[in-house]
Structure 1
Amino acid sequence: MRAYQAFRDEPGFARVVPLDEVRDNDYNLNVSLYVAPLVEREEVDVKALWEEVKAIDREIEAVEERIEGYLREALVPVRKLRETNIGSLPEDWNIMKLGELLAECYRYPTYYKIEYKSKGVPEIRGELLLEDGSIDTNPDRLRYISDETAKKFPKVRVKEGDLVLSVRGTMGKVGYVPKELEGAVITANLMRLSPNRKRVYPKFLMYYLLSDPFRRMLNILSPRTTVKTIQVSILKSIPVPLPPLDEQKRIAEVLSTVDEAISLSRKAIEAIRALRDALMAELLTKGIGHEEFREEAGIGRIPVEWEVVRLEDIILEAKPGFACGKRDENGVIQLRMDSIRTDGWINTEAFVKVPPPSNVEDYMLRPGDILFVNTSGSYDLVGKTALFRGEFDECVYSNHLTRIRVLREKASSYWLFYILMWLWRRGFFKTLCNVQAGGQKNVGKSTLLRIRLPRPSLDEQKRIARILLTVDERLRAERERLKRLRNLKEGLMSLLLAGKIRVRKA
């Protein structure tokens, strides 16, 4: 029924076929016959994507130079502190209640049960408040109310530099209102905080509201109810350590610079992902340097030099793991379905320890093994694939995973890993699933072995894999940079907002 509905509503489906036809058609690589394309495919300019990655890199390097300048020259430790009821602070810092720093603090009354419009006054809701204090302004995620409705509730309309705080349900999320959301309205679960700019710099206050001390205080003061909330009067009573106004601006400048680097790093990750996906589509179907192509039934257009093989022709084994409901802290590490990340790496924090079976050696993993998710409650997760790179010295795997080992004279494990991961991203394995008792979706061993693949020469496989691995390593390095930047921001916030280090005047 789901397929029929999609066929009727979505022109991207070529046709609806029974699952038996998919199986009888030799498990074709040409999934466009059976599933809607993820997006309308266009020719992607790989060189342009690479230039975009390099341009973002240059931006990040420039911002990181500014950060290094702060760390080297502008930040100085504080040796003389005074004791206060909220901890040690510099002698020239004050303590003020949050309410004393606000020109206005407002939540109710507001609108409810209204009809949203295709355009009009944008609405800010809790889901749009991001972890860095920014607000998602993507037009596709915004909702709009009529100007007529908005005019009835002027106090829920925000100005640039206002802060919005989630005070019900998921408490403590903060958003800084940018110029493009001037005049937007907030929902009932948010509170509008308008800073008194003679006393507090809005960005400084934003960072304090994002800090661990403030969030701990918010949690302590909120009632112990199923749905957490906090009253305006209690919120206003929370003490805030307050440096002089010019120092507030310098602190906000340092933290904003780190946030800029974090934002660019995220942008780089998205650009590298796009580059990797484009390269996978290009290299795994067109190869390297080919000029002549042929149409292969059920596969599509491939280089004339390539052959079409079944998976069973190029692998040594496809072996499912073993089930074990017992746990043993002194046992052997067992990888499970959630150990397989969507980027093809092993999640080294997602495993269990189980008593080793008598034939444990039969299930030991070694570098170069491919792990394929054969069973899941979700169609989307069946076929998720990772390459074991020796993350653990001794490691086995569960029955929801299949270990694939290649015949090294016929296939590169890295090449096969990439083509299986590419097929999963294209939605291919959804078409091969059986539904088991309890609703579990499964691609069995016999089904997996019959999949047909276009195979380059072993030398070309290795060249393709090296290119994709280089991009994957670049992606991994960018993720590590993002992690370091987040840790840096967390450390700087804990020191700067408590006055343990100070920003030297320019």
Structure 2
Amino acid sequence: MMEGYKETKIGILPKDWGVVKQVEVATFFNGRAYKLSEWETEGIPVIRLQNLTGSGKEYYYSNLQLPEHQYCCRGDLLYMWSATFGPVWWFGEKAIFHYHIWKIEHNQEKLDRAFHYYLLDDVTRRMKNESHGSTMMHVTKGGMEKLLIQLPPLPEQQKIADILSTVDAKIEVIDQQITETQDLKKGLMQRLLIKGIGHTEFKDSALGEIPVDWEVVSTDIIGEITSSKRVHKADYTNKGIPFFRGKEITQLAKGKKLNSTVYIKESKFQEFREKYGAPEAGDVLITAVGTIGSIYLVKENDEFYFKDGNLMWIRKITNKLDKSFLMHYFRSNIFQNSIDIVSSGSSQKALTIVKFKRLFVPIPNIVEQQKIAEILTSIYEKLEVLSEKKATYQELKKGLMQQLLTGKVRVTV
């Protein structure tokens, strides 16, 4: 054991750090459950889980007179303990918190609340990992109160929280940049893919109003639309040619690195390629089952085979279409909404070749297509850079938490 450290019930920690039950330094207050008859259309807002996670912006209200500890105010630390788990700051107006939320108050002479936020964040992550998922069935108020936590000297707590909050602030800035860029992308796609660049005269078409010199054609004639020979699990191997299913294409379409890949023998790949062909640079792949409408434009040096039924394959694309322009149009809300409409109508949504051929594509002149594609590609590239930057800071934060919250790296005050 390193000099200056000691063995504790929660691991090796610096000698001047304490170990306490959370209840000794923090108080967890239960929220209140409500009857439908108690909801109002105005009054004090009631915070529910969806209001904290961002999945719901609508609030219920209450005019009940409650004990003061059942209200929360700007800057209070809350903890979500049902379905969604973890600490969160409340920065809204005075509100009531629902039953599935705890409010936490601190002994400020012993525990810095910002430091406690990061401790709870780390505790939650570890509990999720131990339960092999996001559902933690045994999180109770009593259990959280008895949970042992490390307690550095207060000035060190504050310094640790300052460091981690600086990284969080950077991540928030990047999130804002991503949101702004996504909004820009959405607006540009809506305008460029329907109105084009610099047009003043328009005409009606199957896609609505478009520039007079644009064409609208059926997807039936933009290229050869097919699928591929089905690969059976018996042909899977641990190495060889990557075998991409809908899952992998969806990850690639989102600009993510593949989490997992299965393979087929190179001999089997060569057999299928000779008989049925294999995707080449410039071909477009579209997920057709499960997650429908993820688009991937095959790049140079991509070499893989894929499963029949999960993906559609567009090859030998007409030279009237710039492939990058086509990819952007396929990714647009305009086209995705059309895919959603034709895919519906059965017990399981699916995009078949027959259904796909009912759709339409606008065709500006090739120069305008290339200009539009260049603009939109630059936006996508910016989003990829921002996403990578965010991932880098998230990894930095994860590493800092592992080092700072355990005292492996000490901070000077």
TM-score (norm 1): 0.70
Equivalent residue for 2:99, pick from 172, 180, 188: 188
Equivalent residue for 1:498, pick from 386, 389, 406: 406
Residue of structure 1 equivalent to 2:283: 369
Structure 2 counterparts to residues 78-477 of structure 1, below 5 A: 80-85=3-8, 86-102=10-26, 104-107=27-30, 110-114=32-36, 115-130=38-53, 141-148=57-64, 151-168=65-82, 170=84, 172-178=85-91, 180-182=92-94, 184-212=95-123, 216=126, 227-232=137-142, 234-291=143-200, 293-315=201-223, 317-327=224-234, 328-330=236-238, 332-341=241-250, 344-345=253-254, 348-349=258-259, 352-353=262-263, 356=268, 358-361=271-274, 362-376=276-290, 381-389=291-299, 392-407=302-317, 409-422=319-332, 427-433=337-343, 435=345, 439-449=347-357, 451-477=359-385
In structure 1, what residue type is equivalent to 2:11?
G
Q: Deviations over 1:443-478 (max 9, x none)?
A: 433443454332122222222211111110111111
- Quote the Cα distance in structure 2 between the aligned partners of 1:89 and 1:226: 27
Query: RMSD value over aligned CA atoms?
Result: 3.2
Aligned length: 400
CA contact (8 A) 2:22 2:148 kept: yes
CA contact (8 A) 1:335 1:350 kept: no
Cα displacement (A) at 1:258: 0.9
Residue of structure 2 equivalent to 1:30: none
Cα displacement (A) at 1:173: 1.3
In structure 1, what residue type is equivalent to 2:157?
Q
Structure 2 counterparts to residues 34-49 of structure 1, below 5 A: none
Distance change >3 Å, CA 106–CA 308, structure 1 → 2: closer
CA contact (8 A) 1:346 1:388 kept: no
- Quote the Cα distance in structure 1 between the aligned partners of 2:158 and 2:339: 54
- Unaligned stretches of 5+ in structure 1? 1-78, 131-135
Structure 2 counterparts to residues 51-62 of structure 1, below 5 A: none
Cα displacement (A) at 1:294: 3.0
In structure 2, what residue type is equivalent to 1:206?
Y
Distance change >3 Å, CA 490–CA 147, structure 1 → 2: same
Counterpart secondary structure, 1:484: helix
Counterpart secondary structure, 1:123: strand
CA contact (8 A) 1:80 1:91 kept: no
CA contact (8 A) 2:280 2:302 kept: no
Distance change >3 Å, CA 169–CA 410, structure 1 → 2: closer
- Quote the Cα distance in structure 1 between the aligned partners of 2:408 and 2:301: 39
Distance change >3 Å, CA 391–CA 488, structure 1 → 2: farther
Distance change >3 Å, CA 471–CA 116, structure 1 → 2: same
Cα displacement (A) at 1:390: 5.2
Counterpart secondary structure, 2:72: coil
Cα displacement (A) at 1:350: 5.8
CA contact (8 A) 1:363 1:397 kept: no
Q: Deviations over 1:165-185 (max 9, x none)?
A: 234555x5112333x343x22
In structure 2, what residue type is equivalent to 1:503?
V
Q: Between 155-164 and 464-473, report the one with greater CA deviation.
A: 155-164
Distance change >3 Å, CA 413–CA 397, structure 1 → 2: farther
- Quote the Cα distance in structure 2 between the aligned partners of 1:431 and 1:142: 28
Counterpart secondary structure, 2:190: helix
In structure 1, what residue type is equivalent to 2:308?
S
Cα displacement (A) at 1:87: 2.9
TM-score (norm 2): 0.84
- Quote the Cα distance in structure 1 between the aligned partners of 2:353 and 2:301: 25
Cα displacement (A) at 1:297: 3.4
Q: Deviations over 1:282-318 (max 9, x none)?
A: 2222223334x23133233333332333334442x11
Counterpart secondary structure, 2:104: strand
- Quote the Cα distance in structure 2 between the aligned partners of 1:201 and 1:93: 14
- Quote the Cα distance in structure 1 between the aligned partners of 2:44 and 2:252: 39
Q: Between 258-267 and 424-433, report the one with greater CA deviation.
A: 424-433
Q: Which has the higher contact order (CA 8 A, sep 6+)?
A: 1
- Unaligned stretches of 5+ in structure 2? none
Runs of 4+ in 1 over 6 A off after TM superposition: 217-221
